[in-house]
A and B are shown apart, each in its own frame.
Chain A
Amino acid sequence: MFDFYDQLKQEFGENLKKKDSFLEMKLEAVHFHQLASQLKNKFGFIFLSDICGVDNKGDSKKEKRFTIIYHLLNLEEYCHLRISIDIDEETKLSSVGATWPSSKRLELELRDLLGILFDTELGAGFLNPSDYGGFPLRKDFTPNVNGPVSILSTSFPDDPSIDADQRGVRSWVNIGPHHPVMKNNVRMILELEGEYIRRCQYETGFHHRGFEKQAEKLPWPTLITLIERLNSQAPFMCTSTWCHLIENSLKLQIPERAMAIRMVFIELTRIQDHLECIASCAVAAGNESVYFICQQGRELVYELFERMSGSRLNPALNCIGGVKYDIPIGWITDCFEALKKMDDLLTHIETLFTRSSIWLDRNMVSEINAGRALDLGITGPVLRSCGVNYDLRKVNPIYFYSDVEFEIPLGVRGENYDRYLVRMEEIRQSISIVIQVLDNLPIGEVSKIVENQIPPAGIHYSSLESSNGELGFTVVSDGESDFPWRLKVRSPSFMNIIALPEMIQNRLLDDALMSFSSLNINPGELDR
């Protein structure tokens, strides 16, 4: 790390600052665009994890209208570089899509929601139609409720590589937005030639709640209730990330017992979410029995949540400074029992699925290769199924993750089947983590009272390995007001879905839904 830091220091000099575990740099827009390929190729920042745009209107300390924050990651050194660029309203930003392909969707979001200008044509947006009349994330935005809004057009342009005859054979199929397997509202439009998918488009935004805008209107302490509702499958992950962010920014040490309890519930949530994903793959393949086995497993976890806090889906268990409730008497025994039952269920699923020739035949499709996955900003089990060993629990361990023993399963080919195997193995590892933590549960109090929950002025980022991948929050605070200035979610589903069209191209129509399910896209997280 030190050599690497020195190298960077030599190159960028005083510009580069170290803040906690992050490196920070302020650049000019033009300058960054020139440096982009150098940062990627020479310094190994191959991963662009997020772009966050901030509107500074009304902030007297900032001269320019917008601040754009790029989050770059060097996976080998685990070095997180944050580049902030101040631009005027008229300045045109250059797209870095040529260097980091994952930036395309993020840049579209900047253009549509914040009105940042780009000097190249980015293509059709996915959230706002062009005549929407305003940019929702700007501070001076007033919604025009009654204005006409055209529907986003989703259609395929003519494919130049084929002639008119071939074009005649192609047909379009529309799947979704409401579909039993999709468990969320995403629309897929497929261009078929016979049974084969030639092109694919997806339409998102059906579940858009204006999450980031709403967050600017909620005071710091109660913001956690909104955060909890980001992802309906894994609410505990969201609140844990959030609490970790606030506690980190306030330099607050939470009690050890609270850390352990959080770890237990994070892993239980992971088990539950992975089972949900396998269940939906099973339904897509037409296998109802595995679906019900998985639901039984989820029920076990939900029961544990309900016994702990009284609520199943949104446990409301986390609070800044720890967790709200201590583990009730008898809960630990129940948990061990549930995990034992869970183990039986997993063996059951394995008997039916792992190495079964039908499941293998249907799932050895939709390959993503490792390089492409990194380019597209994919994280989580999907990335690990391609063989990339990147898990935040290992590279940046928080709480007691460095003390427990567990392994990171890595796939070989990046196919649906690998994703299934990786998830199965991760469930087993999570079970082992829960058992280890419960065996060595520290004693003491479970929460600290935190009077001031406002993070100090500045940019804060914190992330956690959620069940879909790296879930992170970028928060801009001015240090005194009751509301966050800006909250940006780095949601894994938002990035993972980019891979979909490439995955299912030239595959059978049957495979489309299974590949989609294997990505485990969550609607709330996807559309925010």
Chain B
Amino acid sequence: MILKNEYYKAKSLTLGVMKSFLSMSYNVIRRLYGAEKITTINYPIESYLYSKNQMGLPRLVLDKKGRSLCTSCDACQKVCPTNALDISGKEGQEPEVFNLDVGKCIFCGWCADVCADKAIEMSDEHIIAAHAEESLIFSFNELKSKGRRPNPEIKNQVNSEGMEG
């Protein structure tokens, strides 16, 4: 399809300015008074929950008694493309060392995909900041409590419907 010739002919300047002005004012009015008025939310207390698939910090899944399901099988460490995981321990038991270096992790989700025991999964926690490199390495016990929002009730209140287009 060859583009139409008239696209290349300029509109009259007055018409152009008028049209642009109308279109801009329509949008300004819509934004100020229309249904799309509210464009922000009170992040991080509220946040959007778009989908059940999350790609945040990998977290450990705990059973009812608060124990990890991990069996130190090492599969996630082998598959991790950035070597962010460091795991050792006897197979079949809880790992002795389970370190996740968030400075290296690229949140690809491969560790969660390969874990046969479903002991590791991706959470929706994205706000991870630290002032030293070492504090970005999370140990087993730290990981147990990470990846859980402080107030889980609030987070689902706003969904994508409230989002501005």
Segment of B15-23, B63-71, B133-141 in the binding face? B15-23
Question: Could you tell me the distance in whole angstroms from the C-beta of B48 to the nearest C-beta in chain A?
Answer: 8
Question: Could you tell me the distance in whole angstroms from the C-beta of B159 to the nearest C-beta in chain A?
Answer: 10
Does any Cβ of B come within 8 Å of A155's Cβ? no
Does any Cβ of A come within 8 Å of B115's Cβ? no
Does any Cβ of B come within 8 Å of A127's Cβ? no
- Contact A355:B51 (CB < 8 A) given known A218-B81, A222-B79, A225-B81: no
Does any Cβ of B come within 8 Å of A289's Cβ? yes
The CA-CA distance from A338 to B6 in the complex, in Å, is: 29
- Contact A308:B11 (CB < 8 A) given known A316-B109, A351-B23, A357-B16: no
Q: Mark A446-483, 1 if CB is under 8 A from B, else 0.
A: 00000000000000000000000000000000000000
The CA-CA distance from A409 to B1 in the complex, in Å, is: 5
The CA-CA distance from A348 to B30 in the complex, in Å, is: 14
| CB–CB A310/B54 < 8 A | yes
| CB–CB B108/A225 < 8 A | yes
Q: Which of these, B6, B9, B107, contacts A311 with CB under 8 Å?
A: B107
The CA-CA distance from A408 to B108 in the complex, in Å, is: 35
| CB–CB A307/B81 < 8 A | no
The CA-CA distance from A238 to B55 in the complex, in Å, is: 19
| CB–CB B52/A328 < 8 A | yes
The CA-CA distance from A355 to B15 in the complex, in Å, is: 11
Does any Cβ of B come within 8 Å of A140's Cβ? no
Chain B residues with Cβ under 8 A from A411's Cβ?
A: 3
Q: Which of these, A300, A324, A356, A407, contacts B165 with CB under 8 Å?
A: A300
| CB–CB B122/A310 < 8 A | yes
Does any Cβ of B come within 8 Å of A296's Cβ? yes
Segment of A33-41, A193-201, A414-422 in the binding face? A414-422
| CB–CB B8/A289 < 8 A | no
Question: Could you tell me the distance in whole angstroms from the C-beta of B68 to the nearest C-beta in chain A?
Answer: 22
Does any Cβ of B come within 8 Å of A354's Cβ? yes
Number of interface residues of A (CB under 8 A): 47
Does any Cβ of A come within 8 Å of B13's Cβ? yes
Q: Which of these, A226, A308, A410, contacts B81 with CB under 8 Å?
A: A226
Question: Could you tell me the distance in whole angstroms from the C-beta of B58 to the nearest C-beta in chain A?
Answer: 12
Question: Could you tell me the distance in whole angstroms from the C-beta of A399 to the nearest C-beta in chain B?
Answer: 22
Question: Could you tell me the distance in whole angstroms from the C-beta of A265 to the nearest C-beta in chain B?
Answer: 14
- Determine the residue in chain A with the shortest Cβ distance to B55: A311
The CA-CA distance from A361 to B8 in the complex, in Å, is: 10
The CA-CA distance from A26 to B23 in the complex, in Å, is: 61
Does any Cβ of B come within 8 Å of A387's Cβ? yes
Chain B residues with Cβ under 8 A from A175's Cβ?
A: none
- Contact A355:B50 (CB < 8 A) given known A225-B108, A225-B110, A421-B3: no
Q: Mark B135-165, 1 if CB is under 8 A from A, else 0.
A: 0000000000000000000000000100111
| CB–CB A352/B163 < 8 A | no
The CA-CA distance from A168 to B50 in the complex, in Å, is: 61
Q: Which of these, A289, A307, A310, A418, contacts B124 with CB under 8 Å?
A: A310
Q: Mark A196-237, 1 if CB is under 8 A from B, else 0.
A: 000000000000000000000010011101101100000000
Does any Cβ of A come within 8 Å of B129's Cβ? no
The CA-CA distance from A360 to B19 in the complex, in Å, is: 16
Q: Mark A291-324, 1 if CB is under 8 A from B, else 0.
A: 0000010001001001111110010100000001
Residue of B9, B50, B122, B160 contacting most chain A CB atoms (<10 Å): B50
The CA-CA distance from A334 to B51 in the complex, in Å, is: 12
Chain B residues with Cβ under 8 A from A228's Cβ?
A: 108
Q: Mark B34-73, 1 if CB is under 8 A from A, else 0.
A: 0000000000000000111111100000000000000000
Does any Cβ of B come within 8 Å of A375's Cβ? no
The CA-CA distance from A296 to B31 in the complex, in Å, is: 13
Chain B residues with Cβ under 8 A from A311's Cβ?
A: 55, 107
Can you name 30 A-B pairs with beta carbons within 8 Å? A218-B81, A225-B110, A229-B106, A306-B50, A307-B51, A309-B53, A309-B55, A310-B50, A310-B55, A310-B122, A314-B108, A316-B55, A334-B160, A338-B165, A351-B20, A352-B20, A355-B6, A355-B11, A356-B11, A356-B20, A357-B11, A360-B10, A387-B2, A408-B1, A409-B1, A409-B3, A410-B1, A412-B8, A417-B8, A425-B1
Interface residues of A (CB under 8 A from B): 218, 221-223, 225-226, 228-229, 289, 296, 300, 303, 306-311, 314, 316, 324-325, 328, 334, 338, 341, 348, 351-352, 354-357, 360-361, 387, 407-412, 417-418, 421-422, 425
Q: Considering the complex of A and B, which 7 residue pairs feature the smallest CB-CB distances, nearest first?
A: A311-B55, A310-B53, A357-B10, A407-B1, A222-B81, A310-B55, A307-B50
Interface residues of B (CB under 8 A from A): 1-3, 6-11, 13, 16, 19-20, 23-24, 27, 50-56, 79-81, 106-110, 113, 122, 124, 160, 163-165
5 additional A-B pairs beyond A357-B16, A425-B3, beta carbons within 8 Å, are A221-B79, A307-B50, A352-B20, A354-B7, A409-B1
